[in-house]
Amino acid sequence: MNDAVEPLAALLRRLQAPDEPAGDVPRASLAEALRGGNDPLQVVDYFRSLGLPVQDLDDLLRINADPDEEELHAFRVAEGVAVTVASQGEWALYTE
């Protein structure tokens, strides 16, 4: 079994539609987002609204376990955790 985690660029190539622009993915320090700073997708606030506290990057991956969640998806990548809002095609990378 390969436990290697792919880099963000490989994830985007794999998941984005060929006609989607490959634009820059905003990067955010999770610590800064938790302090109310830069949070490009407002993920921390969204998790709080669901009653899911976020303390570390692994907490962002918990959204994948919610069978009712269709919009937000999180992926472990080499650089941190990539989060996407599926209907909008927006991505953000959260780092330590």
Q: Is pLDDT above 70 for 35?
A: yes
Residue 22 pLDDT: 60
pLDDT tens, position by position, 39-69: 999 999 999 999 999 999 999 999 999 999 9
Residue 24 pLDDT: 85
Residues 6+ positions from 32 with CB-CB distance below 8 Å: 38, 39
Burial class (CB in 10 A: 0-12, 13-18, 19+), 17: exposed
70-43-85 Cα angle (round to 5): 35
Helix (H) or strand (E) holding 47: helix 43-49
pLDDT tens, position by position, 2-14: 467 999 999 998 8
Q: Which two tokens stand for residue 46?
A: 């969204």
**Count of other CB atoms within 10 angstroms of residue 59:** 16
